[in-house]
Structure 1
Amino acid sequence: MDKLLLLLLLLGVFPAVFFQGLAPPTVCMVCSNFKRGHCLRGKSNCTMEQGPGCRTRDFFIFTERDGWRLNHTELDCWDYCLPSHWYYQTLKISVFCCKGRDFCNRYQGKGQG
């Protein structure tokens, strides 16, 4: 009986200890309005303990004269980040996700549609 109890204890504790050390927390940049290399509103950081991690969303506006032009970027943490491109009439939102490196969502100047 003692061996069974010890085995159950080890099976319950080992995964928690083992998996806790696999993925260290990731620190992400937060900015609700990032333009021309500067955060204009909502500058801070967030920490993702688990999950997909840091998110970058580029917002583009379409005009007949210029085509798709970057309007602004938002940076944050997001549990369910999926890389994607969303279109709604003259608005396009491009989503980029990253994890495993602090500030991996630091804006890289994508800027093209």
Structure 2
Amino acid sequence: MDKFLLLLLLLAVFPFVFFQGVGPTTLCMVCENFKRGHCLRGKSNCTMEQGPGCRTRDFFIFTDRDGWRYNHTQLDCSNNCQSMNYHLGTLRISIFCCKGQDFCNKYQGKGLEWKPY
């Protein structure tokens, strides 16, 4: 009887010990050039098992006539993703990171207009 209880205890604890630290995977969209609701180049998927997750990068270009104008979006997986906005001269990039829900980086039509924060 004691061996049976010990076996039950081991079977109950084994999954928690064996799978400790393994989180759920997140499936992300990949697209090198996304514009007007369509992936124009590099359409695929990637899977994040650990790390920050899916990344969306909106690219804007500054012109004297129009100011900051949306140019295109890139979608991918990233181990070092941090949500932020930064600019390099006339190029501005807005980065959004997400995980925990498949295709959370699916482009939702944001980024058509950029307003300074």
Q: Which residue of 1 aligns with 2:53?
A: 53
Q: Which residue of 2 aligns with 1:107?
A: 107
Give the Å deviation of 1:15: 4.5
TM-score by length of 2: 0.80
Q: Which residue of 2 aligns with 1:28?
A: 28
Q: Which has the larger radius of gyration?
A: 2
> Superposition pairs for residues 71-86 of structure 1, below 5 Å?
71-86=71-86
How many angstroms apart in 1 are the aligned matches of 2:67 and 2:40?
A: 25
SS at match of 2:29: strand
Q: Which residue of 2 aligns with 1:90?
A: 90
Q: Which residue of 1 aligns with 2:66?
A: 66
What letter matches 2:56 in structure 1? T
How many angstroms apart in 1 are the aligned matches of 2:93 and 2:40?
A: 19
Q: How many residues align?
A: 101
SS at match of 2:33: strand
Q: Which residue of 1 aligns with 2:10?
A: none
How many angstroms apart in 1 are the aligned matches of 2:16 and 2:70?
A: 48
How many angstroms apart in 2 are the aligned matches of 1:62 and 1:42?
A: 25
Deviations 1:39-79 (A, max 9, x none): 00000000000111000000000111111111000000000
Structure 2: where are the runs of 5+ without partners? Answer: 1-14
Deviations 1:8-53 (A, max 9, x none): xxxxx85441332xx3100000000000000000000000001110
Equivalent of 1:18 in 17, 20, 33: 20
TM-score by length of 1: 0.83
How many angstroms apart in 1 are the aligned matches of 2:63 and 2:17?
A: 54
CA RMSD between the two structures: 1.8
SS at match of 1:45: strand
What letter matches 1:54 in structure 2? C
How many angstroms apart in 1 are the aligned matches of 2:74 and 2:110?
A: 13
